[in-house]
Amino acid sequence: MPGSAPSAAAGVWEELSALSGDDLHERLFLQRLLEEWCAAHGAAGAALYLRPPAGGALELELAAGEGHFPEELDAAETPARSLPLPGGLLSFEPAVAAAGSHPLALLLAATAKCCRLRRQLKDQHFQVNYRGVELEALYDVGLAVAATLDLEQLSEEILLRAASLLDARRGALYLVADGHYRAERTFGGDAGLSFAADDRELQAFLSGGAPAPADLLPGARHLLGVAIEIESSPRGFLAVGDKESRRGVGPFPPGDRRTLGLFANQAAIALENARLHRQALEKERLERELDLAAEIQRQILPKGAPEVTGFDLVGWNRPARQVGGDYYDLLPLAGGRVSLVLGDVSGKGMPAALMVSTLHSALRLLLDRAGLGPEFLERLNTHILESSASNKFITLLLAELDPSSGHLQYLNAGHNPGLLLRRDGGVEELGSGGIPLGLLPGSRYESRDVVVQPGDLVCIYSDGITEAEAPDDEEFGTERLLACLRRHRNRPLQAVVDEIDEATIRFAAGLPQRDDQTLILLRRQEA
């Protein structure tokens, strides 16, 4: 070969030989060959163009020297100064003689094609390896089902992996919440804040049948999106925008929809697990709070009844849930007097329990400062109004007993009437003297008095007892309560409570307790 290259000095061939060793420095080798061709033919510059495997315009492979050589040449527009070669052509400037006779041109074309083939193999090797990365990513997201239960962390992981796998410049992960798709994570720029779950334009886009909504990834020119579903129920969607290549950005090829779909399937399971885990944690937190609230409420309710000279006294409460809206207190006052309180907060559960706590604090505070009278409830009403939600109210029966005289002063704010069973069998009601607390500002209340005679029994109760329901919707009612009281009125008061409790349970015939139940029983001992 050196003999057929008259312009090539021996040093050039040694140099080319070194460049073509085991570790071929292809670009330098081809560059030197092209420079030698120019030198051999007196060309100022030359460029080698090769036909791509898929056909189409000739692509610039390399250039040397001076001259304008475009990146691509239309196959139909062969330059005037060019030499056809197998698989391409050599373009040169200016015109030179006997350009086609030099074997360097053939060597250059053959070597360039080999080098291109080598690069193609390298690219294919890269693509095969990258398929491995895709499979690993899918596998890893599957593993994340077990490893990552943090929804925010998982969302970021899913979005970043999807964007990197598909060479996307932009991306967004939307999750369904309250009938809307809301952006949980975005990547590479802003995304539209939310879409209605039944947005037809969006649904058409996710099924591949329509362009993306304009505000999905503002500024992105090419978008791809797939739904995230669990058993055909939408949980969200993944969207990516602008597929990158070395030449810029372009559309996503059809295979990318399949890849993103596979990814979304894995992500759906992972996201569902994370969502369920978050729900379980939330439930656990609420349970802990309820336990704490129940404990606080147990501390609020009296541990036992105070000793009242000449009287028997007992209080009892059973909430329908962990924490309840019923409240009672048996509070010893100065001079041997005792205060009896029974309140019922509208609603049940935690909100009612918070109101109970408010009522307890206010009662303790105000009872220490003011005597029992209408103004007491009026101040309490103002306090409850100011410190509670607008839809909450409290019925309350508050009484104060002077044991030395049996005189019982009471105030009833919308509570069901207490019952006074006279020794002779007669019944008197401790009726209402005003509307429930917390309903209206400026409410007025009326104080009333009775005298509890020896052998008389007072029963203050919450409607959880009289409104206990049987399977046929009949209520336990005041008459059944009175019958119980009459039948057991001379037994120890705790036994009377137990009888009433058992009677309501029997009446409900297995139905769960629907409302909190509270009782206060006060009996004046026989002289």
CB of residue 259 vs other proteins: minimum separation in angstroms?
Answer: 12
DSSP 3-state assignment of 104?
helix
- For other proteins, the closer CB: 11 or 248: 248
Task: Find out whether 237 and 227 touch, Cβ atoms under 8 Å.
Answer: yes
Q: Choose, by CB under 8 A, the member of 163, 338, 420, 421 that binds other proteins.
A: 163
Three-state secondary structure readout of 214-274: CCCCCCCCCEEEEEEEECCEEEEEEEEEEEEECCEEECCCHHHHHHHHHHHHHHHHHHHHH
Query: Burial letters for 102-114: b for 16+ Cβ neighbours within 10 Å, e otherwise?
Result: bebbebbbebbbe
Start-end of H helices in 91-186: 103-147, 151-165
- Smallest distance from other proteins to CB 150, Å: 16
282: contact with other proteins by CB under 8 A:
no
Instruction: Provide DSSP, 65-77.
Output: ESS---SEE-TT-
Task: Note the Cα 45 to chain centre separation in Å.
Answer: 65
Distance CA 239, CA 269 (A): 18
Query: Do residues 359 and 381 touch, judged by C-beta distance below 8 A?
Result: no
- In the window 122-151, what residues touch other proteins (CB under 8 A)? 126, 129-130, 132-133, 136-137, 140
Kindly identify the residues of this chain, within the stretch 439-468, that bind other proteins according to CB under 8 A.
Answer: none
Smallest gap from Cβ 254 to other proteins, in A, equals 18
In whole angstroms, the minimum distance from the beta carbon of 188 to other proteins comes to: 4
CA dist 208 → 67, 170, 181, 211, 256 (Å):
47, 18, 18, 8, 12
Amino acid occupying residue 444? R
Closest CB to other proteins among residues 137, 396: 137
200 near other proteins, rule: CB under 8 A: no
Q: Which of residues 21-50 bind other proteins (CB under 8 A)?
A: 25
Among 186, 203, 265, 273, binds other proteins (CB under 8 A): 186
Q: State yes or no: residue 164 binds other proteins (CB under 8 A).
A: yes
Residues touching other proteins: how many (CB under 8 A)?
26
Tokens (6 digits) for 400: 């104060």
Q: Provide, rounded to whole angstroms, the least separation between the CB of residue 140 and other proteins.
A: 7
Considering the rule CB under 8 A, would residue 88 count as an interface residue with other proteins?
no
- Give 158 or 384: the residue with its C-beta nearer to other proteins: 158
Residue 188 touches other proteins, criterion: CB under 8 A: yes
Task: Specify the 3-state DSSP secondary structure of 207.
Answer: coil
Return the number of the residue (40 or 239) whose C-beta is nearest other proteins: 239
Classify residue 269 as exposed, middle or buried by CB count within 10 Å of its CB (0-12, 13-18, 19+): middle
Residue 333 tokens read as 């006052």
How far is Cα 363 from Cα 436, in angstroms, rounded to an integer?
15
Structure tokens at 407: 């005189």
- Looking at the Cβ atoms of 217 and 399, the one nearer to other proteins is 217
Residues numbered 222-281 forming contacts with other proteins, rule: CB under 8 A: 244-246, 248
Binding flag, residue 187, other proteins (CB under 8 A): yes
Using CB under 8 A, pick the residue from 161, 348, 488, 523 that binds other proteins. 161
Our finding on whether 220 is near other proteins (CB under 8 A) is no
Taking CB under 8 A as the rule, does residue 20 contact other proteins? no
The contact set with other proteins (CB under 8 A) reads 25, 126, 129-130, 132-133, 136-137, 140, 160-161, 163-165, 167-170, 186-189, 244-246, 248
